Chain A
Amino acid sequence: MAKKILVVEDVSFLQNAIKMVLEDAGYEVLTASDGLKGLNAATTKKPDLILLDIMMPKMDGMTMLKKLRQHPNGKRVPVIILTNLSSEEKLIEANKEGVTDYFIKSDWEIEELPELVENKLG
């Protein structure tokens, strides 16, 4: 059975690109465009891995993550942060909340994503 990946990202075309590349790699992709919807999907759909953007309206990524970790369904799921921030401040903060890894959107290539996802799923 294909692994379920939840992509929480507010910028639609970035969301599309990620969906495209992950589906090509054989994953099932769920999407949410803000933190609230993302939290909902994460706790109800139980994805195998979550790709989480930080800067989002309604509820940002860090807040969603905190809430997720408090939820019984969200304690263990691997979370990869999607960020544009090249400074590591927020990443260090995120680490404390149990971030599995991070992916810098502006610096890294899209084709590196499936490999990263596979690594973290294992």
Chain B
Amino acid sequence: MDSGLKETNNRFKHIPAMDSGEFQAFLNNSDDIIIATDPDGTIKFANLKARRMLGYLAYELEDKKIINIVKDDHGSYAEEVVAKARRGQIVKDIKLILVGKQGQKIMVEGSLTPLFEHRECTSLWAKFTTVTPDASTDKEIKKLRQKRFELEALKSLSDRLTNIFDLREAIKTINNYLSEVLEYSSAAYLIFSPEHDDGYVFINYLKDKVGKKYIEAVKKDISSHLTNERHKEIKQIMDKFTDIKPEIHGSRLDSGSRSVPRSQVIFPLKLGAATLGLIHISSSKPNRYLGGTNWLTDAMVVTFVLFVVRLQMVLRAQRSRTETLVRSLSDGIIMFNDQLNITLMNEQGQEFTGLDPNLASLRDFFALFPKANLESKTTKMLVSGKTVHVDNVHLRSRHYEIFFTPVKDNQGKVVNGAIVLHDITRLKEIDQMKTDFVYIASHQLRTPLTGIKWFIKLLEKEIIKNGQVTTREKECLEQITLSNNIVIKLVNDLLNVSRIETGHKFKIEKTSFDFSVLMKEILKDNVVGMEENNITVKVKCQPAKLRLRADRTKVRQVIHNLITNGVKYSLSGGTVLVNAKADKKQVIISVKDSGIGIPKNQQQDIFSKFFRADNASAKGLPGSGLGLYMAKAVVEAHGGKMSFKSILNKGTIFTFTLPR
């Protein structure tokens, strides 16, 4: 017999029923857990059900507190309940987890009722029923959770698409979405769009490793779906569909795979009656899409359709803005695709070329400039992906600079080309005016310079005639002469340069003459600095009697120029060697010095107009920087070539050839 009951009997002996065994039996037969405690929660009685559920013997429960038999984190809740009850409240809807002797957890719910005697709480009676999770409620909850999850995914997809303006990026986003709601091996997108040059975009995204066989099957399925398509443009595309290769995204094609789609579903992308395209989902596993499409995938399709339509509108607007801009440019623009068909020619382009963009091909354009070899320039641009530039071409009495630029897609692949025709006629005219001006100016300058030159000499004579020329006077006259000579030389050089540039009066008049005789003349010319710096000039000629056929005056000038340079930039006591030899084809003349040389980083500019290397200017000797420019022009006008080799502070050798 429970000792606990004895106590109870003693306590509740004023309730007659409590004394009886029937009451005890009643409590023990109950299917509920009944626990009686004293006001502070110490257990005084636990019925059979309670003891069985908790796995305790009666005496083991005695003097345990309620909080000892509840789950840890329910402890304070239990205390609260006990405190409430003690104050006189019947606490209902208690939900607790009891912990049994072996640590087993029992979910219960029930009430705690206080008993009072003479307004004093004498006991607390807890009545609990066990709770088992309802199988059907669980299912409901799961379903709701799933729905919420799906809606959230759809909303997130929709949000993301709002910020995307690129079709491929949108497709990527959709693929990610699909991965969360469907199982699939491949997602193929066929989107008809006039904005895209071929009229469509066909992308096959591979989630699993599949092979050619698989994507061929996908194509076939798509093709049969669209056989009834009436729209003309789409029909055109579908006619060539078997030849069309999709862009493969995601996994690479696995050449060893022989898997085929075992389940597939097509989502047509339609706006009203218009077909925008379709999305083809397939899996290498069977029976994946038996449910067909559901509200969720339908919602996704609608979202995507709206995206495509929005994108097309944006692209159209952009394109028309771009087209307007291109058409209004003052440069001629010709755009062409990878088939080398002209896709756009602006008004200026038409005016410049005289071509009709609807009829002309790129070949016709190339044919306008036969000497410029534009076809190879176009190829170079397409292959290298870099802009190619042609300096100066001539068409219908105007001059153009032509740029070939690539037009690339998002992945940096060259898809189109653009040719820009820039009119430089005005620039050329101005350049010509400048040259003409130099010519005229230098020509006019010669006369007064001659006057100065002559009168200096006459003045000199007068002063000497009067006897007693002071050193000062002599020096002044010498300096005036020197300065004047420099000016004369510069003016002569400018004149020659402008002659070269215009081709005006720069004609080669060939005569036959003897090299050694020419050299003798040149050396008689008293090359500046030869004596003062003790420079020797040696001439070697092979064969000894070498005859040339060239413009004597100009060649004389070239050699004179090279020797002058050799002497000017030589170190004291050096030698300048002039060497001439001939073979059947040409005469090769070289002038070698042991002078200051040309610094390596300035060598590429040495033949440029007005260029003087830093070490040459530093030497303090006068020079216009025009000598080599003119020398090269003369040699090249003869059909020859001019080159040099130089080592800093060791010397330079200039070599030129004159064809026979």
Contact = CB atoms under 8 A, between A and B. Distances in A.
A and B: partners? Answer: yes
B633 to A, nearest CB: 16
A11 B488 contact: no
B457 A13 contact: no
Contact of B447 (A84, A109, A110, A111): A84
B149 interface: no
A120 to B, nearest CB: 20
Given A86-B553, A87-B505, A88-B553, A106 B449 contact: yes
A109 B457 contact: yes
A14 B450 contact: yes
Interface string A83-115: 010111100000000000000011001110000
A14 B454 contact: yes
A116 interface: no
B458 interface: yes
Contact of B457 (A84, A89, A110): A110
B447 A11 contact: yes
B461 interface: yes
B100 to A, nearest CB: 126
Interface string B427-454: 0000000000000000100111111011
A77 B446 CA distance: 29
B455 interface: yes
A77 B192 CA distance: 96
A11 B451 contact: yes
Contacts of B446: 84, 106
A122 B453 CA distance: 28
Contacts of B455: 13, 17
Interface residues of B, number: 18
Nearest to B449: A106
Given A17-B455, A88-B553, A24 B461 contact: yes
Nearest to A17: B454
Interface residues of A, number: 17
A20 interface: yes
Contacts of B492: 106
Contacts of B461: 24, 111
Nearest to A84: B446
Contacts of A41: none
Contacts of A109: 453-454, 457
A46 B467 CA distance: 38
A13 B448 CA distance: 8
A56 interface: no
A21 B458 contact: yes
Contacts of A24: 461
B458 A13 contact: no
Interface string A52-89: 00000000000000000000000000000000101111
A106 B493 CA distance: 13
8 contacts: A13-B448, A14-B451, A21-B458, A24-B461, A88-B509, A109-B453, A110-B454, A111-B457
Interface of B: 443, 446-451, 453-455, 457-458, 461, 488, 492, 505, 509, 553
Interface of A: 11, 13-14, 17, 20-21, 24, 84, 86-89, 105-106, 109-111
Given A13-B448, A110-B457, 15 more contacts: A11-B447, A11-B451, A14-B447, A17-B454, A17-B455, A20-B458, A24-B461, A87-B505, A87-B553, A88-B509, A105-B450, A106-B447, A106-B488, A110-B453, A110-B454
